[in-house]
Amino acid sequence: MLKDCDWSIDRDYKTGSENEPLQFYLDGLANSTEFDLLLGYFSSSAINLLSVGFATFISKGGKMKMVINHLLSQKDKEAIEKANHEGINNVFDLTDVVSLGRVLDEYDVHFFECLTYLIREKRIEIKVIKPRDGKGIAHYKSGVLSDGQDFVGYKASCNFTLYGLSENLEELEAFLSWENGRSNKLIKKQLKIMDDYFTENDNDVEYIPVNEIEVVLKDRFV
């Protein structure tokens, strides 16, 4: 449960400190069943890096929803595309935390097969967006974790990528729903923004079909 986690006392996380952003994600995933992400860049390399926490999350029935921008690696784009087609042969036991952890810990063909399967089974849902009137990209870096009762929201400087979580100097601020009214308001606002994107009720963005996702990262798993 999220209340049982040993969160940073000041709710701040910073690279190089005793409270790393990476640890926030590992603790949160291991103690939640829902994870809503409002992102800019996404790379499945982040799931690979968080394989231990993510395997626990999935094995407990966890579901992830992500709003991301339209710039993906070729491998990630292919995994999303394959999930939209019939005839996926590989079936993974999503309750077996040990075998699931092994698959997610190796960034190889089985990892991407598992990613495709998770998307196909709606354990990972993805909505791709970009600004409707502009040349920029979606560049959010926030999210909300839930265990069904309590919520932990956050805003961060780091992208949900390998470099964002492990290489760069980054910071993250967490908000615990059971602490105060401000935290609750921030979390509810985050959830409303994400819900509007997923239901395509925000008219300021374009909703991008999979075949129009731009591949700019090629085979670099950043």
Q: What average pLDDT does range 141-158 have in this prediction?
A: 97
Position of tokens 């626990």? 56
Q: DSSP string covering 108-168, please? A: SHHHHHHHHHHHHTTSEEEEEEEESSSS-----EEEEEE-SS-EEEEEESS-BSHHHHHTS
- Per-residue pLDDT of 83-102, as tens digits, reads 877 656 678 999 999 999 99
Q: Quick check: helix, strand or coil at residue 202?
A: coil
Q: In this predicted structure, what is the pLDDT of residue 88?
A: 61
Other Cβ atoms less than 10 A from the Cβ of 89: the count is 6
pLDDT band, very low/low/confident/very high, at 145 (cuts 50, 70, 90)? very high
pLDDT band, very low/low/confident/very high, at 220 (cuts 50, 70, 90)? very low
- Per-residue pLDDT of 46-69, as tens digits, reads 999 999 999 999 999 999 999 999
Inform me whether the pLDDT recorded for 140 exceeds 70.
yes
pLDDT band, very low/low/confident/very high, at 210 (cuts 50, 70, 90)? confident
pTM: 0.92
**Which H or E element spans position 6?**
none
Inform me whether the pLDDT recorded for 124 exceeds 80.
yes
In 3D, which of 32, 17, 35, 42 has the Cα closest to residue 163?
Answer: 42
CA dihedral of residues 65, 111, 106, 216 (deg, nearest 10):
-70
- Per-residue pLDDT of 8-22, as tens digits, reads 999 999 999 999 999
Question: For residue 71, which phi and psi values (nearest 5 degrees)?
Answer: -110, 110
User: What does DSSP say about strands 171-176 and 151-156: parallel, antiparallel, or unpaired?
Assistant: antiparallel
| Residues 42 and 72: beta-carbon distance below 8 Å | yes
